[in-house]
Structure 1
Amino acid sequence: MLYEINKIALWIYKHITTYDRLIHISVGVVFVILYFLIRKALKAPERNVLNIIGILIASILGTWVSDWDLLVGGIGWHRSPITHSFLPFLLFEQIVFPVSPYVLPRGFALGLSSHLFWDIIYYGNVHWIPGRFWDCMFLGINACILIGWIILRENGKISKELSMMKILFFSRK
């Protein structure tokens, strides 16, 4: 059992410590810092240390999840539209929503949006989408959807009981 845990830990370390990983994590941390600075400027600072740690950890996971297309076979090439969109957020939110309807999804959305924004700057060629302009539009729109979700949730426009999945697919007009 200890051997398997060590093997998993070494595999994770190997995949996290690449130069690209460190850049994405750094950009994600910058997004988290900006988020907390904006909250402080709006006179709504986060004071709960566990929430701050949860948001930071979830954001680091969010910076990493888009690159899972490299690890999981069958999705396609790197920068698949499946992993480089708000779709991983929908899945993550459904997994953690019963446990943390607010804190962890905020952090994950910050991390994933930072990854998508950085891929725009670093020439994120999204497969199956032709041309640089449309690649950047796709990444930018998806990142803005995530940031928009955070803003609406922060301002109380989206109830804390509603997940993005419920809003997109199960809301009544």
Structure 2
Amino acid sequence: MTVVPDAPVTPAALSAFLRGVERRGLVLAQLQCGDGAAAERALAAALRAFSSQAAGRPMAGWPMRFWSLLATAPPLRREPMPGTWLPPFTALGRMQTSDRLALLLRIVAGLEEEPASEVQGIEVAAYRQSLARACPRDAAGNPDAQAWRALAEAAQQELRELSPAQVSRLAQLRES
């Protein structure tokens, strides 16, 4: 087997990667901390840190590194979280910080269990427990698949419907 060294990171490759994750990063941060300004600060810090580290890492590892940097941003880790969550996301505000992050890594970032557990720095079993605690429940206390789908769809709608000002700000953050 021939080993091919990683190609040098080009500014275009880095910019394309960041464009691919910035919307999800912003929405995840907003829904995690319930505070748009704090979310933007956390995303900006993660983008800066990632950009400074990307050249020394294989491109295949970029997604894990980006999500790990964002997930460890102090505004996203506070307990209790002082933010405000409006409908349809009010249930997020009642969750423990780590449980909410587990859920958002799944429905916003699209990470499967193993990568999401790595991002949070926990075992897969602990991630599953966190995700189970975050799962919407019906009146009888059972997992509510319909509420889960509604929450996931609402998060996806947030991704699609960023305001022009938010999109412009993301471009500024990416280029800074």
**Structure 1 length-normalised TM:** 0.30
**Structure 2 length-normalised TM:** 0.30
